[in-house]
Amino acid sequence: MDEVFKALADPTRRELLDRLFERDGQTLSALEEPLSMTRFGVMKHLKVLAEAHLVTTRKQGREKLHFLNPVPIQLVHERWVSKYARPWAETLTGLKRELED
């Protein structure tokens, strides 16, 4: 989990995630375009994101596409939010059953 927080503790990396959230599956060229940063700089940031498993890649023909992997953030959510969410979940489940009966 350290790697996730390290990866998220940088505005450029958060911006890269924002852009993949908006449109998933982008090439390095597409990602570096709006950033005032060298290709090498963007690659370094993508590497940190990949090491935290927040970004994964897939080949499409000759191109390498980058995808946002939201699962590590879900795990952060489960770790600290689930305790507060439990009574809600039980209430909702109970309510649903009641309505259906």
Partner 1 sequence: MQRHDAGVVLAPGDTTAVFEIYIKTTPERLWEAITDPKLRAKYTFGVETHSDWTPGSSYTSGVPGVIDIAAGENIEVDPPHRLVQSMNALWSDEARAEGTSVVTWEIVPVGDSCRLTVTHDQLRPDGNGEIYGGWPMILSGLKTLLETGESLTTPGSLRFAGAAA
CB of 67 to partner 1, least distance (A): 4
Output 11 or 97, the one with its CB closest to partner 1.
Answer: 97
Q: How far apart are CA 8 and CA 18, in angstroms?
A: 11
Which one of the spans 9-17, 31-39, 85-93 is the region binding partner 1 (CB under 8 A)? Answer: 85-93
Closest CA to 68 of 6, 7, 1: 7
Among 59, 80, 98, 99, binds partner 1 (CB under 8 A): 59
64-98 per-residue burial string, b: 16 or more CB within 10 A, e: under 16: ebbebbeebeeeeeeeeeeeeeeeeeeeeeeeeee
Q: Does 41 bind partner 1 (CB under 8 A)?
A: no
Written as six digits, the tokens of 97 are 């059953």
Output 11 or 70, the one with its CB closest to partner 1.
Answer: 70
1-10 per-residue burial string, b: 16 or more CB within 10 A, e: under 16: eeebeebbee
Output 29 or 74, the one with its CB closest to partner 1.
Answer: 74
Residues near partner 1 (CB under 8 A): 24-25, 50, 53, 56-61, 65, 67, 69-71, 73-75, 77-78, 81-82, 85-86, 88-90, 92-93, 96-97, 100
